Amino acid sequence: MGLWKYLSQYLKPINIKEYENQTCGLDAHYFFHSSKGKLGIKILEEIPDFTPIYKYLIERILLLKKNYNINSIVVLEGNSPPIRETIQNKRDESKDNFLKKANEFIKEKNYYKAMQCKKNSIHLKPIFYKDFYEMCMEKNIECIISPYSSDYQLRYLEKINKIDFVIGCDSDLITLGCKNILYDFDLKNFKGGFRYNKEEFQNIFLEKNFTDEKFLIKCLFMENKFFNSLSHYNLEIATKILEEENEIDLNKIYKEFKFRDKTPLETKIINFEKSYIAYKYGIIYCPLEHKGKYLNELPTDKNHFVYKYNLDEIVGEIKPPEIIEGIACGKINAVTYEEMKESLKPTHDFMNMLKKEKELKKKENKEEDKKIEQFKRKNNQNLSKPFFYNSKQNFNNDLILKENSPPKPFFFNSKLNEKKNK
């Protein structure tokens, strides 16, 4: 069961006015993906133009400040951690397949289907962040490009009291330990949204012996991107053990579980430990010290299972402060670690081609309507259009009937002639 689905029965709607005079951390990556294709974005081009979405998001942030006095720190996602390479590769493959389909439709001049495929093929990469960062700086909006996942960066900003709450919808925000989340908020109309408060939901996760460590383990058991979540039966066993015992023993917990698959128990524990490290010690940018660091401090006990693994292979490598700060400021690419070049501009404008195609269809329809009106005026007849009316076919049929039918006098009246015949 997903975390948001599990909490949906307890969440209550909230008004944005309750967050007045506070500072929010905005997950811009979520907003970009939810609004692409809806704001006039030129997605059919080889290099998509995201400036309409950039401008729109900045307008919303400024209105949030003007109407409710809510300051915003916008966070963008950089590179994906090494542990997520397999997941990211699958996503990239599906996006590439949609891109191939879109190019085929473009060759066939079917721009409508090409646009639908292009929507699913778009992937926001760090090469598109430079323009957005510069636009935020012009409007005095604080913006941070995270070296890796934006969820880790938002959690750290809340941890150092730089923000009061987070606007987003990713369940990783709960697993990472965010205390206050505004979930499913409509930034367009400033309506909707549900409030998640960690302190209020502690008893829902664990009724006894609640600790942040146990909370993280329970969340990983419920929903995890790196392995399948536990069944309802195994989840109940895990909660009982976590509530009764103070010390956490993963070997003891996993021995009580019942699995249908034949995966060895050791590999299951290894996968869990790696996912624990990925969530607990993700790499972030510290705006106070101007360098990269782990989300939480490493354990002092050298016998901890964390030291069995190479953290660089799981969460990534902490780069020098110059590179990390360059990534955060939009000067260095988070993937290639090269300097950002000039802003990318589209090479072909397929949206104008789509508009021209629609305009041609409108002109053809107007010409057909003109022909029908001319025919009506010449023959003084009102042609009724049934629901299955086709202008071209009926126009030709009416001409044939007109040629074959005998002429009717101007004093012709069907009722009078019927009476005379009788």
DSSP code at position 39: S
Q: What is the pLDDT of residue 328?
A: 92
pLDDT at 134 over 90: no
Rounded average pLDDT over 44-48: 57
In which element (H, E) is residue 400 found?
Answer: helix 391-404
Most confident of 26-35, 282-291, 404-413: 282-291
Comparing 342 with 97, which gets the higher pLDDT? 97
Most confident of 64-68, 190-194, 202-206: 64-68
User: Average per-residue pLDDT in the chain?
Assistant: 79
Percent of all residues in the chain with a pLDDT value above 90, rounded to a whole number: 26
Q: Which one, of 403, 395, 399, 330, lies nearest residue 369 by Cα?
A: 395
| Candidate from 108-112, 283-287, 358-362, 418-422 with smallest mean pLDDT | 418-422
pLDDT at 383 over 80: no
Comparing 93 with 353, which gets the higher pLDDT? 93
Q: Report whether 197 contacts 173 (CB < 8 A).
A: no
DSSP code at position 36: T
pLDDT at 352 over 70: no
User: Which pair of structure tokens corresponds to residue 407?
Assistant: 């002429």
Rounded average pLDDT over 204-218: 84
Most confident of 41-55, 86-100, 105-119, 162-176: 162-176
Q: What is the pLDDT of residue 84?
A: 78
Q: What is the pLDDT of residue 141?
A: 92
The pairing of beta strand 12-13 with beta strand 191-197 = antiparallel
The dihedral built from the CA positions of residue 277, 282, 283 and 287, taken in this order, carries a sign that is negative
| Candidate from 98-112, 119-133, 284-298 with smallest mean pLDDT | 119-133
pLDDT at 45 over 60: no
The DSSP result for 132-188, as a single string, is HHHHHHHTT-EEEE-SS-HHHHHHHHHHTTS-SEEEE--THHHHTT-SEEEEEEETT
Burial of 34 (0-12, 13-18, 19+ CB in 10 A): middle
**pLDDT tier at 127 (50, 70, 90 boundaries)?**
low
Q: What is the pLDDT of residue 204?
A: 82
The DSSP result for 278-293, as a single string, is HHHS-EEEETTTTEEE
Q: What is the pLDDT of residue 75?
A: 94
Domain residue ranges in the chain: 3-205+281-328, 350-406
CATH number of the domain located at residue range(s) 3-205+281-328 in this protein? 3.40.50.1010
User: Which pair of structure tokens corresponds to residue 300?
Assistant: 């002092």
pLDDT at 338 over 80: yes
**pLDDT tier at 48 (50, 70, 90 boundaries)?**
low
pLDDT at 361 over 60: yes
Q: pLDDT tens digit string along 255-281?
A: 888 887 788 888 888 889 999 999 999
Comparing 400 with 312, which gets the higher pLDDT? 312
pLDDT at 85 over 80: no
pLDDT at 25 over 50: yes
**pLDDT tier at 125 (50, 70, 90 boundaries)?**
low
Q: What is the pLDDT of residue 71?
A: 94
This prediction's pTM: 0.75
**pLDDT tier at 358 (50, 70, 90 boundaries)?**
low
